Amino acid sequence: MATDATPAAPLALLAELTHRCPLRCPYCSNPVNLTRVAEELDTATWARVFHEAAELGCLQVHLSGGEPTARRDIPDVVRAASEAGLYTNLITSGVLAGGAKLQALVAAGLDHVQLSVQDAEAGSADRIGGTRGGHAKKLDFARQVQEAGLPLTLNAVVHRQNLDRLPQLIDLALALGAGRLEVAHVQYYGWALANRDALLPTLAQLEAATATVEAARRDLKGRLVIDYVVPDYYARRPKSCMGGWGRQFLAVSPAGRVLPCHAAESLPGFDFPNVREVSLRWAWERSEAFARFRGTAWMPAPCQGCEHAERDWGGCRCQAFALTGDAAATDPACALSPHHHLLDLAVQEAAAATDAFTYREMGRSPAPVG
């Protein structure tokens, strides 16, 4: 049995190939400071990373961004991951990925496509994504994926401004031939934190959405798998973020930094290892950054000794930092946290706010919150 000193192999690698993206989503989960093209890992380095991931025990790789198909070498990247023996999942907006590019990805060994949508209605979807005609391109891309015989997951990031159309999003997933639908409530750190007032749903919306998901899971069993990621702002217990810090997943940023989760670069005081300098195995098994919040020994009261400690693993470190300024603090989603009241204040502020967004722009920083 693995211990905190000898962690078990990760299940999957999130390979963030680029921060370039044709969309301007106000809930973008990428870091505030984006990696420039000149700083991105090259194809050969990614190929080495994929082989190291397979040797470490990873079974699959999620090719993400930004928009991964913004890279000209994306077929070569997919081929390298496939040749390493990894199951390849492309996480894409679909806006740049159709036609000959999709055919090249299929020929390179792509196994699965995960397509993001901003809403079920074109006008709202394009407004949220900050594009013109993007939703129509997504629907056409989904058709091409189906024709290519690839399995499709639809990813719908939901919030106050589209949550009421969750039934239509479920219908859209069925119409597009998706086998899986991810209903993922916005998680509030990075750019999304700056837009929290415009995105945070009401309690009534959340309860209605949860009932919709439960009914759809029952009625569509065998036709559509629905994953449901809820927001923490109405919770009394934190969720097990990424299965626990450094326990099941690892990510590599476009610049090569090895991270316990894709948002970890938002945390100060970390020296995250880089694949240009160390192996993936060394980063996973020996780096201080991964060890710092792995397991339970690091936990403060009231987490230390709590019966839930090895279920939620302390919750989300990025959320703890975003709300309290201390990454080691008890996640405010826990009712026992001395900062739990901050979630109530956020809900009150959102209820009085407008629906105006601050859109994501390359080289631009969001306005501070609070």
Q: Which helix (H) or strand (E) holds 204?
A: helix 203-219
Position 39, amino acid: E
258 Cβ contact partners less than 8 Å away, ≥ 6 residues apart = 250, 251, 252, 272, 273, 274, 275, 278, 280, 283, 284, 287, 289, 290
In angstroms, the CA 249 to CA 261 distance is: 7
Taking a C-beta distance cutoff of 8 angstroms, is the pair 20, 70 a contact?
A: yes
Which tokens in the block code for residue 82?
């496939």
For tokens 């000209």, the residue is 72
3-state SS assignment for residue 253:
coil
Whether residue 58 is annotated as binding a ligand: the answer is: no
Q: Which segments of the chain are extended strands (E)?
A: 12-16, 60-64, 87-92, 112-117, 152-158, 180-185, 225-229, 249-252, 258-259
In angstroms, the CA 138 to CA 223 distance is: 22
Whether residue 261 is annotated as binding a ligand: the answer is: no
For tokens 């397509």, the residue is 115
Instruction: Tell me the binding residues.
Output: 21, 25, 28
Q: Can you say which residues are annotated as belonging to the binding site for [4Fe-4S] cluster?
A: 21, 25, 28
